[in-house]
Amino acid sequence: MADFYQNGVVTTLHNITRRSADELDYELNSFARFRRLGLVLPSLYSELQGDALEKIIQELQPVNYLNRIIIGLDRANEDQYNHAKEYFGRLPQEHHILWNDGPRLTEIHGMLANEGLAPTEPGKGRNVWYCFGYVLARGDLDGVALHDCDIVTYKRELLSRLIYPIAHPQFNYAFAKGFYARAGSDNNMNGRAARLFVTPLIRALKRVCGQSDYLDYLDTFRYPLCGEMALRTGTLADMRIPSDWGLEIGILSEMNRNYSTNRICQVDIADIYDHKHQKLSANDQTTGLSRMTLDIALALFRKLATQGVIFSPESFRSVKATYLRIALDLIETYANDARMNGLAIDRHKEERAVEVFAENILDAGVRFLDAPKEAAYIPSWRRVVSAIPDIFEKLVAAVEADNKSP
């Protein structure tokens, strides 16, 4: 059971009394009269073949407080898109699918690319960016939740708890970030990228770069890489996010840039959480946790640079050495925590991961210094509308035409 302790600079909303999903949904149904709510589901077509998304669809069917569900569908040909329409057709809520690989949205992507405004690489960040653009284009939702489609342990109260802080008419939160314990059905302590990379890297940067409100803010979040979050739609127009694995850190950074910390909270959304695990990919930086940590480190370095931090090869070597010491010390902490809770943890694999992550910090630093002109973020939708005033009309028309086509 979580306690009531508040740590850091943003509010933590705990799960102290284990309120039932029915009780939460009853309140959310009343809130929905004042705030129209939606859900964004970024999905690969391959996830339609898995058990996790099937469970999510079943759990979402009785949810009445959602006015719309927006599905961003990646890596789907025409036959697969038609299958996706049938698959998601079981949802009783109004729902729209963004067929990101279809000819209509591909044409829109090309139009944006001609103006230098399109995401430069495929991935979850690009998918979410287009879904957020569609939310803005429709203009009739007050808030949206976002969660992944590979959550094996999904229950509808995860969504209820996630969206509650931005739905309550007497709450002032513009952004809610989920957190949970990464101990799943496999009885392992999971969450390596967060435990062994993000937290020790943030603390290493604090030592090397000096006092930073931004780093203190990031260190407040219990699970900064959590893909589950809820946002008021007013936050979406000015948001500039990475298109790669730096998405979650990028969104946290944008909220910190645009809003006071009293408009931001983190909320306990699940007792257990399990999803598809990424391989370490120690010898391949184009995939798995190796790619993820490289992208995250770059996102952090770029953000700190915008705040006046000056990096050099020497400073990155200091960050690596400091990170390595902090991460290795944390392995002992996590091992003790796992043992007391009856969870399995492999010390050798943990230390091997830390070694790979430490090398990725140096490689991210080299890339940061060697490619200063590399596009770091997708442009904000406010800028896109300024360049192409009718882009929202085109986006809505394209999605509606795809969804109506046989």
Q: Which domain covers residue 351, as residue numbers?
A: 11-404
Domain count, the chain: 1
Q: Is residue 101 part of a domain?
A: yes
Q: Is residue 3 part of a domain?
A: no
CA dist 111 and 116 (Å) reads 9
DSSP state of 178: E
Q: Is residue 83 part of a domain?
A: yes
Q: How far apart are the first and last CA of the chain?
A: 50
Q: Is residue 5 part of a domain?
A: no
For 189-235, what is each residue's pLDDT tens digit?
888 899 999 999 999 999 999 999 999 999 999 999 999 999 999 99
Q: Is residue 6 part of a domain?
A: no
Q: How confident is the model at residue 122 (pLDDT cuts 50, 70, 90)?
A: confident
Q: Which CATH number characterizes residue 322's domain?
A: 3.90.550.10
Q: Is residue 275 part of a domain?
A: yes
What percentage of the chain exceeds 90 in pLDDT? 81
150: amino acid identity, one letter: D
For 311-331, what is each residue's pLDDT tens digit?
999 999 999 999 999 999 999
How confident is the model over 349-368, as a mean pLDDT? 94
Determine how many CB atoms are found less than 10 A away from the CB of residue 142. Answer: 18
Q: Is residue 4 part of a domain?
A: no
What would the two tokens of residue 248 be?
Answer: 């979650």
For the entire predicted model, the pTM comes to: 0.94
Tell me which residue has tokens 């931004």. Answer: 214
Q: Is residue 180 part of a domain?
A: yes
Strands 229-232, 143-146: pairing is antiparallel
Tell me which residue has tokens 């086509």. Answer: 405
What would the two tokens of residue 9 be?
Answer: 């600079």
Average pLDDT over all residues of the chain: 93
